[in-house]
């Protein structure tokens, strides 16, 4: 099962950078969302593949035509929060207010119910279990925020094997579709999105995919924008992660979409036997 998703945000929505942290800062940068969305639509048109779009509510508020175009092409929309902030940097109240705003804005723009969610930076961790309860409370049925390995934004090592699961807490259950990993020498590697996808050669990605029963992708519009300016304030490591492989990303993804069949979240949910998935108790 290969699931195709895109996190729809502006090219400057980079986490952990003081120059791009707040909504006020974003007014300092040009918009590139329309041209970058056209690149994604072209990829999907060429491959005839379905995808889920996790959209930042701020995009829907500022550019509702982007959301309407996604819907008009037959794709589904999920929430990627409203102001693209790390979950663990917020209080439960701040997170819920942001989530509600994103859901309302996206539903107004799309005319569809928002059922799925992904946190920026996969920043729901074992230290923020309240976030899952907040998602359920606000009508989210499927979460895609778990990164079951160590990473800069915390990760969720205690989740265990990367596979569809129920997250259970306080007598409630949330469907979870985590990011997949591929193990080499006892080390969990991620290859299916963002900088990881741009880093690995296509031959490795193809091999990892062939050996995987479950693949969850995540791409951003900026991943295919090799003409984007250099953001201020980035460390050398962050510059590498954000800009390496941009020129090859589009043809690489096109090859992947041509070589494998992908589906959106709604289709994956229907194919999974939820009576047999593991239950992660928090």
Percent of the chain with pLDDT over 90: 81
Q: Is residue 57 part of a domain?
A: yes
179 sits in which H/E element: none
What CATH number corresponds to the domain at position 90? 3.20.20.370
Position 237 in a domain: yes
For residue 206, pLDDT beyond 80: yes
Q: How many CB atoms lie within 10 A of CB 156?
A: 25
Does residue 233 lie in a domain region? yes
**In sequence order, what are the residues at sequence separation of 6 or more whose Cβ sits closer than 8 angstroms to the Cβ of residue 66?**
8, 33, 34, 37, 55, 59, 60
State the residue range of the domain holding 71: 2-13+31-281
Q: Residue 154 — pLDDT band, cuts 50, 70, 90?
A: low
- The three-class DSSP label of residue 77 is strand
* Residue 22, in any domain of the structure: no
Report pTM: 0.95
Report, as an integer, the average pLDDT of 251-272. Answer: 97
Q: What is the pLDDT of residue 233?
A: 87
Q: Per the structure, how many domains does the chain have? A: 1
Task: Tell me the pLDDT tens digit for each residue of 221-240.
Answer: 999 999 999 999 888 988 98
Q: What is the rounded distance in angstroms from the CA atom of residue 159 to the CA atom of residue 279?
A: 10
179 in a structural domain = yes
Grade residue 248 by pLDDT with cuts at 50, 70 and 90.
very high
Residue 210: inside a domain: yes
SS percent in the chain: helix, strand, coil, step 5: 45, 15, 40
Judge whether residue 20 has pLDDT over 80. Answer: yes
The answer to whether 139 and 106 have CB atoms below 8 angstroms apart is no
For the cut 70, the answer to whether the pLDDT of residue 43 exceeds it is yes
Q: Which of 116, 128, 53, 126 is nearest to 85 (CA)?
A: 128
152 pLDDT band, cuts 50/70/90, is low
Contact 49, 259 (CB under 8 A): no
Count of positions (residues) in the chain = 282
Mean pLDDT of 43-68: 97
Residue 21 lies in a domain: no
For the chain, strand residue ranges (E) read: 2-3, 5-8, 52-55, 76-79, 116-117, 142-143, 165-169, 172-176, 182-184, 187-189, 215-216, 278-281
For residue 18, is it within any domain? no
């Amino acid at each position: 099962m290969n699931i195709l998703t895109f996190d729809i945000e502006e090219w400057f929505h980079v986490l952990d950078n003081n120059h791009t942290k707040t909504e006020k800062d974003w007014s300092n940068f040009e918009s590139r969302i329309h041209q970058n969305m056209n690149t994604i639509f072209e990829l999907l048109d060429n491959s005839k593949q379905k995808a889920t779009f996790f959209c930042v509510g701020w995009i829907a508020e500022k550019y509702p035509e982007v959301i309407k175009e996604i819907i008009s092409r037959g794709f589904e929309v999920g929430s990627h929060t409203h102001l693209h902030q790390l979950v663990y940097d917020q209080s439960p109240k701040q997170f819920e207010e942001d989530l509600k705003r994103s859901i309302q804005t996206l539903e107004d723009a799309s005319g569809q119910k928002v059922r799925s969610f992904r946190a920026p930076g996969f920043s729901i961790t074992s230290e923020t279990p309240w976030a899952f309860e907040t998602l359920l409370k606000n009508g989210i049925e499927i979460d895609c925020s778990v990164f079951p390995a160590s990473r800069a934004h915390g990760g969720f090592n205690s989740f265990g094997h990367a596979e569809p699961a129920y997250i259970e807490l306080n007598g409630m259950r949330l469907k979870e579709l985590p990011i997949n990993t591929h193990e080499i020498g006892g080390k969990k590697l991620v290859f299916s999105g963002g900088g990881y996808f741009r880093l690995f050669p296509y031959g490795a990605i193809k091999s990892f995919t062939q050996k995987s029963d479950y693949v969850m992708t995540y791409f951003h519009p900026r991943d295919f924008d090799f003409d984007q300016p250099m953001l201020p304030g980035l460390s050398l490591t962050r510059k590498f992660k954000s800009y390496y492989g941009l020129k090859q990303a589009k043809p690489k993804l096109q090859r992947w979409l041509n070589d494998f069949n992908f589906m959106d979240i709604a289709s994956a949910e229907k194919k999974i036997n939820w009576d047999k998935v593991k239950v992660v108790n928090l």
